[in-house]
Amino acid sequence: MEDFLKNAEQLLQHKEVADALQKIAVYKEFKKGELIHSANSICSHFFIILSGIGRVFYYKDGKDVTVHIATEQESITAIDSFIQRKKSKYNIEAIEKITCFMISRDDLETVSAQSHKLEHFGRLFLEKLYINLAERLDSLLLHTSKERYDDLFAKTPELFNRVPAKHLASFLGMTPETFSRIRGK
């Protein structure tokens, strides 16, 4: 994460990149509980969160399953839909009031075609998404519930005060009861 942020900050120092992003980024606010994107529709934007927390989730057997949580200075989108331009199975919800920059895929592609530096920024962004996905998969497959809990708490302790326990439990791949039991130890 630190390498990505360092590289992103360096790229954003380039006037060309900063100017291009400023032209296509739209400031947007979402209320707590508001759906930013609904499943079964195409997600043609990604969002860079300035303040607040969002989550990506889907429904399975009548329950919602949280697959991603994003906070300040992170991005959020229905990545399956954003990349493939197909209807998504994911919803995106504002857990807290969110202020963000919204960038459309079409605008991003247009400016990326005109700027090697911006195209490089996009590649770094996608690399970071891939690394996060690979780490999440490893965590779910190779670690116990307690290890997943401890790892998330070590990396992002603020989530435990800002995100409802049921969403954290779902994100960690455990029942609310297991989450509560681990939290109580």
pTM above 0.75, yes or no: yes
DSSP the chain: -HHHHHHHHHHHTSHHHHHHHHHH-EEEEE-TT-EEE-TTSB--EEEEEEES-EEEEEEETTEEEEEEEE-TT-EE--HHHHHH-SB-S-EEEESS-EEEEEEEHHHHHHHHHH-HHHHHHHHHHHHHHHHHHHHHHHHHHHS-HHHHHHHHHHH-TTHHHHS-HHHHHHHTTS-HHHHHHHHH-
Q: What is the pLDDT of residues 13-46, one digit of tens each?
A: 566 767 777 888 899 999 999 999 999 999 999 8
Give the neighbor-by-neighbor strand order of the sheet with 75-76: 26-30, 98-104, 45-51, 75-76
Q: What is the pLDDT of residues 156-182, one digit of tens each?
A: 999 999 999 999 999 999 999 999 999
